[in-house]
Amino acid sequence: MKFNTSRIATAFLIGITILGTVPSAADAQSKPALVRNVDEGALQPIQFNLFPNSTTSNQNAAYFQVPAGQRLVIEYYSAQAQDLSGGAAGMSLGTTSNGNFASFIVYVNKNDTNAVNQTTRIYADPGSFVQAFAFNNGTRCAGSISVSGYLVNIP
């Protein structure tokens, strides 16, 4: 069977006339596909402060309990530790994820009270405790940490 090029071109032009124009790259940019984040509805924002301090010891901890049935995802923290007796101080943030405890040093200073801020991704299991631990080499310590993140329901 022999095809004539002009017949194919004619059929193509008739198809374009009936169906409309040929899509172009400009059409794709002017009519973007709509997308939806299916996880967003499950994310519940949370923020809290912990203040480990002691006037009689060189270490202390403060705790936040993650609600049962939810996982905590820490995305940001701001921390400061201070040796109230004038020496160096530090602070760690500890969590349990998949049953394993880990402690992250978030702040260490020497004779000052500068603060640190950090974006991060730290997880904590449902029902576990987030621990802020302040420590120093003196006789009194203080610290504060503000945490921001979200909770995710665990089925």
Contacts of 92 (CB under 8 A, 6+ apart): 103, 104, 105, 106, 131, 132, 133, 135
Alpha helices, DSSP H, located in the chain: 5-19, 25-30
Q: Hey, which CATH number is domain 45-153, 2.60.120.20, 3.30.505.10, 3.90.1170.50, 2.60.120.230? A: 2.60.120.230
pLDDT one digit per residue (tens) for the chain, 155 residues: 555 566 666 665 565 555 555 555 555 567 777 676 666 667 899 999 999 988 888 889 999 999 999 999 999 999 888 776 667 788 899 999 999 999 998 877 766 666 788 999 999 999 999 999 988 877 788 889 999 999 999 87
The overall pTM is greater than 0.75: no
Q: How far apart are the first and last CA of the chain?
A: 64
**Which residue, among 50, 43, 102, 119, has the nearest Cα to 81 in the 3D structure?**
50
**Which residue, among 4, 145, 7, 152, has the nearest Cα to 66 in the 3D structure?**
152
Q: Which two tokens stand for residue 68?
A: 């049962």
